[in-house]
A and B are shown apart, each in its own frame.
Chain A
């Protein structure tokens, strides 16, 4: 396997801990599908989570919580193994092994169902739109052979997972399974390899979201 570019330890830790936004977590999950080494790292980090759970100061549950749940158990059937996610629609022409986490995202409500041309030789398919303004947090890009990726701004960390084809930029040559982490304000204009389209999953940190009972709902209502 030719994966040589991995997520940083900081990103793997955030993924294991559960503090990575949905878009970036999708990039990591996609990489894990083709990288046994990083799967081991995540397994270790989940074991760290288990260790910290063992050691955390327990907080007493409400009296009666156990009885209440015991009374419910018979009505809670055992889960069957989840079915594999549906295959990506053939119309999207994803002629490569689509990581299972990405198939699930493609099928999720809110994901685009068709490619959209966003520039010469560049098509885009948005996977997640945040509930707040600030642009999508995850999208697929399909770059024609030899084309440059479009210029784009991002405030937080941006991560790219190559799904098919390859590209070259100042950080090196990236092929399917490779991940690039790009800090904000980096001049980052990868050029797709010649010969075939380069398909990438690009994700950014979740944009800032207002919390609280008033601003949160207002933002969700009007912030699209």
Chain B
């Protein structure tokens, strides 16, 4: 595992994204490219893309970052989360030729009804990223593995169970335990 991301780095990336959004700042874009393009490419290769296709898709993701920066809302998502959703959706579009139905971060989601009492149970964005990062780092290895497999393989739980040679019920219960820890880290109540 590569080192845990420090807060300064996180804030710098969000700042670059805002600079692209507000001023079409190419130096800020170059900084985003230096950080994200090799990671998006690495991510796609982990998911089974050939190097040339991963290169093309990573470039396409960065072009989308440039085009969509104005739609980025720092109150809704941390920079890496937003870039992840762009990469995820473009990959699905390119490889599966499907459109991913989503309630979009990427496009600056339309406001949806939320009848909960405000604020108290909602976690601020920067806070969410930090807490999630810490929760992932402290998951027991078997739970961390099913989460990583979910994100790094283009496979749903049935196929992951086959890959790991585990009963489906075991994989689902590990996923559930991992989600309980992530929810607990965010201070959310179990339903």
Q: Flag B139-153 by CB within 8 Å of A: 1 or 0 each.
A: 000000001101111
Chain B residues lying within 8 Å of A46, measured Cβ to Cβ, are 77, 81, 84-85, 105
Cβ of A203 to closest chain B Cβ, rounded Å: 10
Q: Which residues of chain A have a CB within 8 Å of any CB of chain B?
A: 1, 6, 8-14, 17-22, 25-26, 28-30, 32-34, 36-37, 39-44, 46-62, 65-66, 68-70, 72-73, 76-79, 81-82, 84, 100-102, 104-105, 108, 156-157, 205
Residue B12, interface by CB 8 Å: no
- Measuring CB to CB, which residues of chain B are less than 8 angstroms from any residue of chain A? 1-2, 5, 24, 26, 29-30, 33-34, 36-43, 45-46, 51, 54-55, 58-59, 62-63, 66-71, 76-85, 87-89, 91-92, 96, 98-103, 105, 107-108, 110, 112-116, 122, 128-129, 132-133, 136, 147-148, 150-158, 171-172, 175-176, 178-179, 182-183, 186, 188, 191
User: What number of A-B contacts does a CB cutoff of 8 Å give?
Assistant: 226
B51 touches which one: A51, A59, A82 (CB < 8 A)? Answer: A59
Main secondary structure of the interface of A (DSSP, over half): helix
Which chain B residues lie closer than 8 Å to A11 at the CB level? Answer: 157
How far is it, in angstroms, between the C-alpha of A28 and the C-alpha of B42 when the chains are bound? 28
Question: Complex: how many Å from CA A84 to CA B155?
Answer: 30
Q: What would be 22 A-B contacts, judged by CB atoms less than 8 Å apart?
A: A9-B179, A12-B179, A18-B154, A22-B98, A30-B101, A36-B114, A39-B103, A43-B105, A44-B182, A46-B81, A49-B85, A50-B80, A53-B39, A55-B2, A57-B42, A59-B38, A61-B37, A66-B37, A73-B29, A78-B70, A81-B108, A156-B158
